[in-house]
Structure 1
Amino acid sequence: MGLTSKAVLTLSTVPAVVLFAATVLIWPRLARRSVPAVFGRVGLLLATQVMVFASVGLMANNSFLFYGSWADLFGGQQELGVVTDGAAGTLASKNIVRVGIQQPDVPGGSHPTAGGRIDKVVIAGRRSKIESSAYVYLPPEYFRPEYAHRKFPAVVVLTGYPGTAENLLKRLEYPRTALDRVKAGRAQPMILVLLRPTVAPPRDTECVDIAGGPQTETFFAKDLPQAVSDSYRIGKRARNWGIIGNSTGGYCALKIGLHHPDRFAASAGLSAYYKAAEDPTTGDLFHGNRAERERANLLWSLDHLPQPDSSFLVTTSRQGEGNYRSTRKFISKVKAPAQVSSIVLDSGGHNFNTWRREIPSALEWMSSRLSEN
């Protein structure tokens, strides 16, 4: 049974309720001062508290998907060092390996021509030497005969920190939303490459190339687009690629788009911040290099570096988000030939519910900025 399954949650919740009821009923019998009664009280309290904490923890994890599996919870890094036999299949590029296939949770998901397909892959960065797992959502059109020779635009989709890629599938429902937008005639079919920005776990690298450390910016800006476009029907020009993310992923999306307009034509930051965080989770990102620290500040970059010929989308809310003022500053600093659009909600916190309200419009915006050829 998986960590996020309803069966596991039930197996923890039911004993918690039973133990709580037993504590209320049996406690008078354990009120004596004898050693067995004391041990009985301690054991009953301990068992009840353990099951209650387990139930609450599982409910929180099911809601926010902090951990996607038991191995993830206990520190097992099943994403690294993946060994795949011939049955799993390889793709055209030696820098990307498909390790699994799953059906998207959409109407007709059991048939690729109706619901598309999700490939679980491992991407090996040739330049960065980083290896990361990802999901690649292929839209239904990818499998239809009339589209057999067509290339599709692609969008890199990033979670926040320390999120999991499963959040993008289960909580934020990117494949379902993308499919709905196409069916409504509001967006073109796009390939989605979904992963987390934490490619050197547990360190939060803020999508920076760290001296003597992980080359995260190189991985996202160069290795990933190259590997994926070599293996799927995706163009290799900037106008064929977009990048979007929430929170830390939003900062990364804007940073990569701003500094690499030759790779990405459109970048969207949902609830993004605008300069690299520096805290215990990041460690020393810049090693005293002032130029690199300034470059990682997007507001500084807009003031001091050439404006790119690309498009940006930023989101915030007047009440509930802490990035409202900095988002307004970002918008004011974007100048031609760059273009900027925004989504400003009246209220909305830094959470999945807010991002689900923004993703449909963000995907429509992204679709309008990308081309297939």
Structure 2
Amino acid sequence: MGLTSKKVLLLAILFAVALFALTVWLWPRLSKGNWRAVLGRIGLLFATQISLFAAIGLFANNMFGFYASWADLFGQEQQPGVVTNYKSGPNGTNLKLLGNERLSIQGASMPTTAGRLDKVLIRGHKSKIASPAYVYLPPQYFQERYARKKFPAAVILTGYPGTAEALYKKLHYPQTQFDLLRQQGMQPTVLVMMRPTVAPPRDTECVDIPRGPQTETFFTQDLRHSLSSEYRIGKDAKSWGIMGDSTGGYCALKMTMRHPNAFSTAVALSGDYKAPIDTTTGDLFGGSAQLKRENDLLWRQKHLPGPPVNLLVTSSRHGEGNYKNTLKFIEGTKSPSRVSSIILDSGGHNFNTWRREIPAALQWMGNRLSV
């Protein structure tokens, strides 16, 4: 059974409850002072606590989508599924269709009504990175009156470690766009959903690491080229936006500010403003103080010209650790950059908060892209 299976979660909860009941029942029998009774009490307490932590951990993982599988949890690479050529576009070699996923949208079996969710493998020609992604094509993509039309695209990133599946199963990006389209709240936009961890298990913070993974090149060059070659997506920066939460939010801001010729619009939900250096990242900058400064967004605002891009940042007055830096970022934004914000009264660093922000943020982004 998979890590995110409801059966696994239910079994873990039942096991924890059973161990708790067993502990209560056996405790009087283990009240003696001999070494066997002491070891018995220690063993029961240890087993009960481990089962409780496991149940809570599985529940949190199911809610927030930290890991998609047991192999993902233990840092093991998963073998990709059977790869077939993508049949809806030109015969390219940098994008492969792995299958389709069903969405929780009325009429999901009909692309002209609900759109379609493709699972693809993107192979980077320049970065030499290959990573899976989910591509949501809105209903208009399949409708006859849009048959010759190109569409804007928004790259949607998770945090670290995160799972791409959480973007449509928990954060409901395609479903949100579907509702906005029915309300005529935004233009139809192709959504490219993935995690920024394209060289797992390392957290690269979307940096081209010296002598390491070229993550920034993958997102700003390879991904855009592969997708616009296979789908009807505009090739210019004005057609491309990028949006993410937490680490994904930092990546969105950083890559748009550093590469305005790749992305014209960025949204950071609870994003950071510089990359952390810890055991998950390793040395991101190869000892280069200059490269480290260039990836610090508050430093960039103070010392470098503002790029001609649209930026949206979000935070909460109570519950978010990035609130003060978000205000600094807003105040430090220089023309021709344009900045907007969503500031909640309260909200933590979690899915519930981001679900409150996504409709307005997605609408804001969709209406700033063009083809």
TM over 0.5: yes
Which residue of structure 2 aligns with residue 244 of structure 1?
243
1:164 aligns with 2:163: yes
Instruction: Please give the per-residue CA displacement for 1:214-243, whole angstroms capped at 9, x wherever unaligned.
Output: 111111111111111111110101111100
Distance in structure 1 (CA, Å) of the matches to 2:274 and 2:54? 37
1:120-199 equivalence runs, <5 A: 120-199=119-198
Percentage identity across paired residues of the two chains: 57
Shift of 1:34: 8.6
Shift of the 212–7 alpha-carbon distance from structure 1 to 2, 3 Å rule, reads same
Instruction: Please give the per-residue CA displacement for 1:260-291, whole angstroms capped at 9, x wherever unaligned.
Output: 11111111111112122222221111223222
1:74 aligns with 2:52: no
Aligned partner of residue 367 in structure 2, secondary structure: helix
Shift of 1:118: 1.3
Shift of 1:50: 4.1
Shift of 1:91: 5.6
Checking the alignment, whether the CA contact within 8 Å between 2:159 and 2:245 is kept in structure 1 is yes
Checking the alignment, whether the CA contact within 8 Å between 1:90 and 1:97 is kept in structure 2 is no
> Comparing 251-260 with 161-170, which one deviates more in the overlay?
161-170
Aligned partner of residue 223 in structure 2, secondary structure: helix
Shift of 1:313: 0.8
Shift of the 14–70 alpha-carbon distance from structure 1 to 2, 3 Å rule, reads same
Aligned partner of residue 242 in structure 2, secondary structure: strand
Structure 1: 5+ residue stretches without partners:
none
Which residue of structure 2 aligns with residue 61 of structure 1?
61
Checking the alignment, whether the CA contact within 8 Å between 1:89 and 1:97 is kept in structure 2 is no
Structure 2: 5+ residue stretches without partners:
none
Alignment: residue pair count: 370
Which residue of structure 1 aligns with residue 19 of structure 2?
19
Aligned partner of residue 168 in structure 1, secondary structure: helix
Which residue of structure 2 aligns with residue 253 of structure 1?
252
Checking the alignment, whether the CA contact within 8 Å between 2:133 and 2:192 is kept in structure 1 is yes
Shift of 1:84: 2.6
Which residue of structure 1 aligns with residue 285 of structure 2?
286
The residue type paired with residue 60 of structure 2 is: A
TM-score scaled by structure 2? 0.92
Distance in structure 2 (CA, Å) of the matches to 1:28 and 1:321? 46
The residue type paired with residue 218 of structure 1 is: T
> Comparing 173-182 with 17-26, which one deviates more in the overlay?
17-26
1:1-373 equivalence runs, <5 A: 1-29=1-29, 45=45, 47-78=47-78, 82=80, 84-86=82-84, 92=90, 93-371=92-370, 373=371
Shift of 1:24: 2.1
Shift of the 90–150 alpha-carbon distance from structure 1 to 2, 3 Å rule, reads closer
The residue type paired with residue 353 of structure 1 is: N
Checking the alignment, whether the CA contact within 8 Å between 1:246 and 1:270 is kept in structure 2 is yes
Checking the alignment, whether the CA contact within 8 Å between 1:257 and 1:267 is kept in structure 2 is yes
Distance in structure 1 (CA, Å) of the matches to 2:266 and 2:41? 58
Checking the alignment, whether the CA contact within 8 Å between 2:159 and 2:248 is kept in structure 1 is yes
Aligned-CA RMSD value: 2.3
TM-score scaled by structure 1? 0.91
Distance in structure 2 (CA, Å) of the matches to 1:201 and 1:85? 20
